[in-house]
Amino acid sequence: MTADFERLTVSNLSRHYGRRKALARVSFTCEAGQIVGLLGPNGAGKSTLLAILGTLLAPSEGEVRYGNQQALEGGSRLRERIGMLGHDLFLYPELTAHENLVFFGRMYGLTDAPQRATQALDRAGLGDRAHDAVSGFSRGMRQRVALERALLHGPRLLLLDEPFTGLDQASAAALVGRLREEQQRGVLTILATHDLDVVDGLLTSELFLRNGRLVTVAPGEGPLRERYRAAVASA
């Protein structure tokens, strides 16, 4: 059965580490073509939630449904339609940028991985560094390569953890443009970020997390930063 990413439904999701609750009864629904901001202070549970959505971590309670499927039902067919960028960029420093993308492309079974890798690096503005080892790249350059790794196989669900880390203003603007392109393709993007000014106007909706719980903030037309402050300050 083909995984359906028209809707993602999270129901009463909790994750415990011993007595500590990283997530507590989190519920929400989002749909294809949305760019959802996962916002909150450090330790709020954002990375844990992304890991569960990416099937890298099992919840202690509750469930995630991708369309009508749960993660265990979807298996590898589900995972091959998910793209993820976390704090660990999953790049091999001794390999070139092109070799890294070809390697991951072939892991996804892409028969045209070399061509896709070349196109991806050109799109990222790194075509002239395609055959340089990643070990000599700046953090921002590695971040751009890692984003292309996450997008190389054409995922339907894109999960990004602090994707603007290390990016200069021009690169951040290029990333915003790229996410808009993926949105037009019907990709559901969920991203955790502290760069509120960058994503203000990009996000179609926001999820505010505080101490592992979703915080309800009244929608408004003011700056995103003001709504974030209201969420963090709420009891």
How many whole angstroms separate alpha carbon 39 and alpha carbon 202?
14
**Percent of the chain surpassing pLDDT 90:** 77
pTM listed for this prediction: 0.93
Last residue of a domain, one of 109, 124, 154: 154
Smallest Cα–Cα separation from 23: which of 58, 69, 56? 58
| 56 domain residue, yes or no | yes
pLDDT of residue 107 exceeding 60, the answer is yes
pLDDT of residue 184 exceeding 90, the answer is yes
Question: In this predicted model, what pLDDT tens digit does every residue of 124-140 receive, in sequence order?
Answer: 999 999 999 999 999 98
* Cβ pair 189, 36 in contact under 8 A: yes
Residue showing tokens 């709504």:
227
77 & 167 share domain: yes
How many whole angstroms separate alpha carbon 166 and alpha carbon 143?
7
| 191 domain residue, yes or no | yes
How many domains, the chain? 2
Which CATH number goes with the domain that contains 9?
3.40.50.300
144 & 180 share domain: no
Reported as a pLDDT band with limits 50, 70 and 90, residue 220 is low
Question: In this predicted model, what pLDDT tens digit does every residue of 18-37 receive, in sequence order?
Answer: 888 999 999 999 999 999 99
Looking at residue 1, its pLDDT comes to 45
Last residue of a domain, one of 154, 170, 199: 154
pLDDT of residue 2 exceeding 80, the answer is no
63 & 102 share domain: no
197 & 232 share domain: yes
| DSSP-based three-state secondary structure for 91 | coil
**Which residue segment(s) compose the domain that 103 sits in?**
92-154
Residue 184's alpha-carbon distances to 99, 105, 116, 120, in angstroms, are: 29, 23, 20, 18
